[in-house]
Amino acid sequence: MQVTKDSLIGDVLDHDIKTAKFFFEIGMHCLGCPASRGESIAEACEVHGTDPDELVKKINEYLAEAEKK
């Protein structure tokens, strides 16, 4: 999976639930809420005042490493 700023949080979590830690790091602790799962990464970062490009980079690096295992 290649994550972008437009990726839905729910899709990312469904692909690999361990990515939740990256959302927790930006203060997004409401991942079980249906509304948050339907948000894009860009929307979540805007609400939480963080850089979506940085979050996308972290998630993609994690997923690339996880696929190697």
pLDDT, block means (10 residues), the chain with 69 residues: 96 95 88 85 92 97 92
CA–CA distance, 63 with 32 (Å, rounded to integer) = 21
At 30 the pLDDT is 79
* Domain with 25 in it: 9-29+36-68
Q: Is residue 64 situated within a structural domain? A: yes
Q: Is residue 2 situated within a structural domain? A: no
At 5 the pLDDT is 97
- Based on the structure, what is the number of domains in the chain? 1
Q: Is residue 63 situated within a structural domain? A: yes
At 69 the pLDDT is 78
At 29 the pLDDT is 81
pTM over 0.85: yes
At 36 the pLDDT is 82
Q: Is residue 3 situated within a structural domain? A: no
CA distances from 58 to 21, 33, 55 (A): 11, 23, 5
Helix/strand/coil for 15: helix
At 12 the pLDDT is 96
